[in-house]
Amino acid sequence: MHRFLITAAIATMIQLAVTAVPATAAEATKVNSFYPANKAPLPQSAYSILPLGAVMPQGWLKQQLTIQTTGLTGNLPKFWNDVGPASAWLGGKGEGWERGPYYTDGMVPLAFLTQDPELMEMARKWVGWTLDHQRLDGGIGPASCTDWWPLGLMCKTLTQYYDATGDARVIPVMTKFFAYMQVELPKRPLHEWAKMRWADTALSAIWLYNRTGNPALLEVSKLLMAQGHDYAQQFSNFQAYSKPSQGWNLENHGVNAGMAYKTPGIMFQLTGEAKYRKAVDDGISNLDKYHGQAGGTFAADECFAGRSPTQGTELCSVDESMFSFENLIAMFGDPLMSDKLERMSYNAWPGTFSPDMWAHQYDQQANQPICRISKEKWFITNGGEANLWGVEPQFGCCTANMHQGWPKFVRHLWMATPDDGLAAVTYGPCSVTAKVKGGNTVTIDVVTDYPFSDVIKMTVRTAKPVEFPLQLRIPAWAEGASVQTDKTLTPRPGSFATVSRLWSNGDTITLKLPMKIRIERRFNNSATVLRGPLVYSLRIGENWHKFRGDDAHPDYELLPTTPWNYGLILDEKNPQQSFEVVTKPLTEPVYSSKNAPVELHAKARLVPTWKEARNSADVPPVSPVQSAEPIQDIVLIPYGCAKLRITEFPVLGE
Ligand SMILES: [Zn+2]
């Protein structure tokens, strides 16, 4: 109690200090009093991103971050040289391009969200080397690195480190680096990856502008935009880029596109032009329309690959898409973007890792009943190892870049509102501690098994009663949602419900988000089953066959031990009648086939004409399909639990 009182007193002093600052042009936009958002002339942000550590994982999400820590993230430097002690990003003679910065971009937030001592030490070491080895001209990173892309990537790590620690070295180093960039860019313009991924660098420059107000940072951001690829144009005049006519190129590259979801948003930040705001929505809808996949992102193996569920989605394109949406939500506050973020984060993301997070895939498929060593695959430009499981299948970018997904998702569950309140933009078990109106610090504990459960219980902890607005996202699928405080609200799905009142210590909010079963018709009129934020897939027996590597970190084929070629018996007008929902207590690790916390029991028949092709399932036959096979019971489990899966089912006709 005493600690709270002191905190509140300091907070009040800080708030007085803030309000005592003379009015400037920067105050023309409404911003949260405690957490930076866009400063004028940038357009107003919908939300401020909270400092790293303000939202801490609880419940199954906490366990998930522990699994990641004891899995590849905590152990990779011990045996994978590209992020080992010889990294050029630590002053050695080893890897000096993107892999070091990719690793730190996820390892650093994981360290602060788990407080794992070993990770914290690594975070200090990696960030410390960059901060302590800036060259006189302002350049950062290994002297051998002349590509702007990994340098911009390292800036993303620095912003997170600063948000967590307030380390006094960060702001001067970044300021000097961007000044150097402004001088150098006209002489050494962006090319290749840096040209496509410029917005990720501009994001850090804008982050710095919002903390220092230095106008040169907007100039360098606009220079990046002028030299960078125009994704707004590409997304608004989308050329489909579907297989097989287009080969491998940077414009239809999946990871670039995942990063680029936010690029028109950055263009809007820098210009305020409506066409860029429209291009954000065009990008989201066109990627879905032409390449959308049931797991929540799009197919690109490793370039755009169309809507067939046999095509692949690269791991890096999933976590980069997640990071893009986390930033788009802060920019625009669109609840549908939050729905999209949850769909990719709770389905495609866990679906591409082994339950212990020691093995990952390069490419995942929505229909993935077989992951076998073979040359012939459905993938356009990826090889026969792309959907195997291990340390470095196909190519090591995902090995370096798999670390940011969960920690950044946790960090962005809550954001601060311009009117000094808090917004729950996505849901999961966590605690958020932040300053609200009047400078009071409150904690909200979110207790839930979401996305496996439809009940979310929040409890407010506060030293004294405090009034502030609380925004709660109501997903578009949540028909009949209710918010219960001292009264019960029934807000509209696909919106934010705002509860503005005096909150006292121990006050509770109970959110009910009814999860009705929904059916989506997808490729060849196949059916995908959804319930709440989760997509459901056929549970297939798994044989994890080690074929390479040592016992500590082997590579696996993943082979089926049960049939997969089922057609679904479906009463589409009344899908609730076609499935029996069976829920189980959460058991760690939740994202595994055997521990699946929710099962949907359904009826199906084998479809003998639907066979294996190219070492995977053939494309699903056009529905409706016929089968004379006997009716069987099948079990669907969350996509992320089903490492072998069928997600787009043929539907049996009458
Ligand atoms: Zn990758």
The tens digit of pLDDT for each residue in 359-381 reads 999 999 999 999 999 999 999 88
**pLDDT class of 245 with cuts at 50, 70, 90:** low
Q: Residue 637: beta bridge partners?
A: 537
Checking if the pLDDT of 8 tops 90, the result is no
Q: 403 CA to middle of ligand 1, Å?
A: 11
Report the distance separating Cα 245 and Cα 290, nearest Å.
14
Relative to beta strand 422-424, strand 466-474 is parallel
Report the distance separating Cα 415 and Cα 111, nearest Å.
20
Report the distance separating Cα 264 and Cα 235, nearest Å.
9
Checking if the pLDDT of 532 tops 60, the result is yes
Average pLDDT value for the chain: 94
**pLDDT class of 551 with cuts at 50, 70, 90:** confident
**pLDDT class of 243 with cuts at 50, 70, 90:** low
Q: Using one digit for the tens of pLDDT, what is the confidence trace for 52-103?
A: 999 999 999 999 999 999 999 999 999 999 999 999 999 999 999 999 999 9
Q: 128 CA to middle of ligand 1, Å?
A: 26
Per-residue confidence (pLDDT) for residue 29, from 0 to 100: 62
Q: 423 CA to middle of ligand 1, Å?
A: 32
Half-sphere exposure of 342 (CA within 13 A, CB side): 24
Checking if the pLDDT of 22 tops 70, the result is no
Q: 126 CA to middle of ligand 1, Å?
A: 21
Q: Which of 501, 412, 454 is nearest to 597 (CA)?
A: 454
In b/e form, how buried is each residue of 613-641, taking b as 16+ CB within 10 angstroms? ebbbbbbbbebebebeeeeeebbbbbbbb
Q: 314 CA to middle of ligand 1, Å?
A: 6
Q: 394 CA to middle of ligand 1, Å?
A: 9
Q: 452 CA to middle of ligand 1, Å?
A: 28
Q: 389 CA to middle of ligand 1, Å?
A: 13
Q: 379 CA to middle of ligand 1, Å?
A: 15
Q: Which of 205, 91, 106, 107 is nearest to 148 (CA)?
A: 205
What number is the average pLDDT over the span 540-553? 93
Report the distance separating Cα 28 and Cα 203, nearest Å.
22
Q: Which of 5-14, 286-295, 588-597 has the lowest mean pLDDT?
A: 5-14
* Contact between residue 23 and residue 455 where contact means Cβ atoms under 8 Å apart: no
Q: Which of 476, 485, 539 is nearest to 509 (CA)?
A: 485
Per-residue confidence (pLDDT) for residue 13, from 0 to 100: 36
Q: Using one digit for the tens of pLDDT, what is the confidence trace for 600-653?
A: 999 999 999 999 999 999 999 999 999 999 999 999 999 999 999 999 999 999
Q: 316 CA to middle of ligand 1, Å?
A: 4
Checking if the pLDDT of 7 tops 80, the result is no
Checking if the pLDDT of 213 tops 60, the result is yes
DSSP state of 299: -
Per-residue confidence (pLDDT) for residue 248, from 0 to 100: 84
Checking if the pLDDT of 5 tops 60, the result is no
Q: 402 CA to middle of ligand 1, Å?
A: 8
Q: Using one digit for the tens of pLDDT, what is the confidence trace for 491-507?
A: 999 999 999 999 999 99
Q: 323 CA to middle of ligand 1, Å?
A: 14
Q: 6 CA to middle of ligand 1, Å?
A: 47
Half-sphere exposure of 640 (CA within 13 A, CB side): 24
Checking if the pLDDT of 455 tops 70, the result is yes
Q: 401 CA to middle of ligand 1, Å?
A: 7
Q: Using one digit for the tens of pLDDT, what is the confidence trace for 105-152?
A: 999 999 999 999 999 999 999 999 999 999 999 999 999 999 999 999
The rounded percent of the chain whose pLDDT value lies above 70 is 95
Checking if the pLDDT of 260 tops 80, the result is yes
User: Which alpha helices (DSSP H) does 84-189 contain, by range?
Assistant: 99-114, 117-132, 148-165, 170-184
Structure tokens at 9: 């007193």
The rounded percent of the chain whose pLDDT value lies above 90 is 92
Tell me phi and psi for residue 454, to 5 degrees.
-100, 10
Q: 15 CA to middle of ligand 1, Å?
A: 44
* Contact between residue 67 and residue 353 where contact means Cβ atoms under 8 Å apart: no
What number is the average pLDDT over the span 338-351? 98
Checking if the pLDDT of 399 tops 60, the result is yes
**pLDDT class of 10 with cuts at 50, 70, 90:** very low
Q: 177 CA to middle of ligand 1, Å?
A: 27
- Residue listed under structure tokens 């089912």: 649
Q: 315 CA to middle of ligand 1, Å?
A: 6
Checking if the pLDDT of 3 tops 60, the result is no
Checking if the pLDDT of 401 tops 50, the result is yes
Per-residue confidence (pLDDT) for residue 550, from 0 to 100: 85
Q: 302 CA to middle of ligand 1, Å?
A: 9
Checking if the pLDDT of 244 tops 90, the result is no
Q: Using one digit for the tens of pLDDT, what is the confidence trace for 464-473?
A: 999 999 999 9
DSSP state of 635: E
